[in-house]
């Protein structure tokens, strides 16, 4: 799981790859359809797709001459589950910040 998480987070570190995933969340697409809105070459998009595929975030099919890509949810779910383990930490941190801010508004208030 740790190696899969490393691959997932490494793939998600790039904003172009995150944008590609957002596009694929709308439905499968060919490399040309994915590349259309980006100011990079189709070849560069293909490299990004390979990284995403290696990380298990997408799968690429074969339909005649086309290789449509589609989102795979398992790797994203695993990353979300891992992050969710820290939810208590950040919620507690926000609760403490909220209390400090409220106490700053009412300096004489207890608690």
Per-residue pLDDT tens for 24-79? 999 999 999 999 999 999 999 999 999 999 999 999 987 666 789 999 988 999 99
In a domain, 34, yes or no: yes
Cα distance between residue 50 and residue 60, in whole Å:
9
Element (H or E) spanning 26, and its range?
Answer: none
What CATH number is attached to the domain comprising 87? 1.10.10.10
pLDDT for 63 equals 65
Q: What pLDDT score does 46 carry? A: 94
Tell me, yes or no, whether 57 lies in a domain.
yes
Residue 93, in any domain of the structure:
yes
Q: Closest by alpha carbon to 7, among 57, 46, 47, 43?
A: 57
In the block, which residue shows the tokens 């359809």?
33
Q: Report residue 93 as tokens.
A: 């941190």
**What pLDDT is recorded for position 22?**
96
Pairing of β 58-60 and β 69-71: antiparallel
Q: Is 17 part of a structural domain of the chain?
A: yes
Q: Which two tokens stand for residue 60?
A: 């690429």
Per-residue pLDDT at 33: 95
- pLDDT band at residue 99 using 50, 70 and 90 as cut-offs: confident
- Give a yes or no: residue 16 inside a domain: yes
Count of the separate structural domains present in the chain: 1
Q: Is residue 85 classed as helix, strand or coil in its secondary structure?
A: coil
pLDDT at 85: 87
Contacts of 18 (CB under 8 A, 6+ apart): 12
99 in a structural domain: yes
Give 66's strand partners: 63
pLDDT at 2 over 60: no
Range of the domain at 28: 2-105
Query: Looking at the domain assignment, is residue 111 inside a domain?
Result: no
Residue 47 lies in a domain: yes
pLDDT number for residue 66: 73
pLDDT at 109: 55
Binned at pLDDT 50, 70 and 90, residue 90 comes out as confident
């Amino acid at each position: 799981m740790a190696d899969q998480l490393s691959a997932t987070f490494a793939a998600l570190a790039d904003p172009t790859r995150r944008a590609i995933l957002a596009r694929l969340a709308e439905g499968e697409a060919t490399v040309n359809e994915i590349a259309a809105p980006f100011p990079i070459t189709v070849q560069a998009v293909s490299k990004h797709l390979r990284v995403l595929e290696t990380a298990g975030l997408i799968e690429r099919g074969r339909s005649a001459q086309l290789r449509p890509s589609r989102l795979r949810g398992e790797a994203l779910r695993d990353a979300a589950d891992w992050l969710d383990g820290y939810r208590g930490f950040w919620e507690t941190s926000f609760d403490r910040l909220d209390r400090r801010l409220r106490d700053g508004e009412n300096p004489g208030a207890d608690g």
